[in-house]
Amino acid sequence: MSKIFVFGIGGTGSRVLKALTMLLAAGVKTKASEIVPIIIDPDSACGDKTDTVAIMNQYSTLFDSLSHQEGENLLDSFSTKLSKLDFTSEYVMPMGDNTNTQFQSYMHFASLSQENQALVNMLFSKDNQNADMSIGFTGNPNIGSVVLNQFSKSTDFLTFASNFAPGDKIFIISSIFGGTGASGFPLLLKNLRFIDPTLNIPNAAAIAASEIGAITILPYFNVKSEDNAKIDSDSFVSKTKSALSYYERNLNGLNVLYYIGDSQRGVQEYGDGGIQQRNEANFVELASALAIVDFANNSYTMPSTVYKEFGINKDVADITFPDLGSTTYNQIAKPLTEFTLFSKYLKERLHSSTSQVWLENYVNSVVGGQFYGILSQFTTAFLNWEQAMESKSHARRFSPFVLEARPKDVFGLAKGIPVTSAFGVSASNWDLYNHYLNKKDCASSANQIGKTEEGKFLSHLLLGTKKVVSKKFKF
């Protein structure tokens, strides 16, 4: 299929892309064979962004170790390619050095005429003018709108346009209650749908006519109050109302628009930006990533915009799989259970299983090597991501698993999911897991899927996991 270019704007955009990467690793199915994530964030050191980039790089290494023949359905995990545009090796669209300064310097305030300086003083407060844009727009969409309106004239937009082809699709992730996302979304949409013909942008007609979807994320957390804080949770609702009012009057050209938020909001630690901005993962971000999956799996035609919202089956503080709607349950319950079990086996059992027949060939060639280190980092990040979604800092938590080690009840990890006996097999817990990994058909299939010895190891583990989950869990 054609590519989907996914623009993740600001810190929220990065966190949703992280959730999407985790879902793709787990094997959530999408009709897209290739997704091109593009992060737009003036905060070059944003912790959420650097974490997401690292995870997507790890995903790509694991993806590259496997063969991906068309029509092959043995594995769902790591089956969707994450691609980078030519301008970057880090999935990030550079904002240029001119944003690493105060807003007044960006506008060349000192060189403006007296009349124009008076106009700037009327439109922007002194705090706005002195704002340090190197840490983002810190809840000021009026600043972001000025900077991001130059997007279509940048060499980076030219690079994106050069990579676009007829039939490709575009998706935009943004929050509505901050600065970067609230300002970036409508401007990005405008620049995609209405490209200035005098700029001679390649593939402009294909971009303007493409299928474009977006998710706008309403408030779903608050931040701790701090003296002299640049971001105030008390303003989130008023900013959201203003932005929604603007969107209603001016947002044109979307095929589908997804809305999500949560009235039950926990509290995140305050951070101005940079490495301090590293929010705990939230279920809203996972659900937002599912909007991208929905967009990939369906077609939405103009002229009218389709509007979609997300809901759970039961309004509970601690969400488990049975609390989800049937569509979401069918999409994520089995894949997340498989990949959680897979990750826990690597963490809790693999190093005491080196005498197992299936593992003997990999002990010297894979275990302990660079690839194994990347896999371990990714699965650790996956388990930490799940752990963060059930943090006490959230007013509404996603806690479908028992994540602590329970070697005598390995398969009791998925809350509310019935477990059955593996008929005709006397082994239990991790011994049962190894039983299926030792099967010859598992090794044979792994040899077909893995392009390298490392890929064979990865696919062997994933195939064994699918087998044991199919035997033990009643999905």
HEC letters along 249-296: HHCCCCCEEEEECCCCCEEECCCCCHHHCCCCCCHHHHHHHHHHHHHH
pLDDT at residue 274 in the model:
47
How far is the C-alpha of 256 from the C-alpha of 386, rounded, in Å? 29
Q: CA dihedral defined by 86, 90, 91, 94, rounded to 10 degrees?
A: -80
What strands lie across the sheet with 34-40, from one edge to the other? 81-82, 34-40, 4-9, 169-175, 211-217, 256-260, 306-309
pTM: 0.87
* Strand 266-268 with 211-217, pairing: unpaired
How far is the C-alpha of 60 from the C-alpha of 390, rounded, in Å? 27
Residue position matching structure tokens 């897209």: 32
Token pair recorded at residue 262: 């949560």
Residues 6+ apart with CB under 8 A from 296: 4, 30, 31, 32, 35, 169
The DSSP 8-state label assigned to residue 333 in this structure reads: H
pLDDT at residue 79 in the model:
92
Token pair recorded at residue 174: 């943004």
How far is the C-alpha of 475 from the C-alpha of 470, rounded, in Å? 8
- Hey, what amino acid is at 26? A
pLDDT at residue 426 in the model:
80
Contact 343, 382 (CB under 8 A): yes
pLDDT at residue 226 in the model:
52
The DSSP 8-state label assigned to residue 305 in this structure reads: P
Per-residue confidence of the chain (475 residues) as pLDDT tens digits? 589 999 998 888 999 999 999 999 999 989 998 999 999 876 666 778 889 999 999 999 999 999 887 655 578 999 999 999 875 567 887 655 455 566 666 666 677 777 776 776 776 667 666 665 555 555 555 555 555 666 667 777 888 899 999 999 999 998 887 656 566 788 888 889 988 888 888 999 999 999 999 999 988 876 665 544 455 555 666 677 777 777 777 788 899 999 998 888 777 665 554 455 678 899 999 999 999 999 999 999 878 899 999 999 989 999 999 999 999 999 999 999 999 999 999 999 999 999 999 998 899 899 999 999 999 999 999 999 999 999 998 999 999 999 999 999 999 999 999 999 877 788 899 999 999 999 988 888 888 899 999 999 999 999 999 999 999 998 8
- Hey, what amino acid is at 36? V
Contact 294, 307 (CB under 8 A): no
Contact 414, 337 (CB under 8 A): yes
* Phi, psi at 266, each rounded to 5°: -85, -170
- Hey, what amino acid is at 204? A
Q: Up-side HSE of residue 268: CA atoms within 13 Å toward CB?
A: 21
How far is the C-alpha of 37 from the C-alpha of 70, rounded, in Å? 22
- Hey, what amino acid is at 374? I
* Phi, psi at 308, each rounded to 5°: -135, 145
How far is the C-alpha of 375 from the C-alpha of 380, rounded, in Å? 8
pLDDT at residue 106 in the model:
64
pLDDT at residue 250 in the model:
77
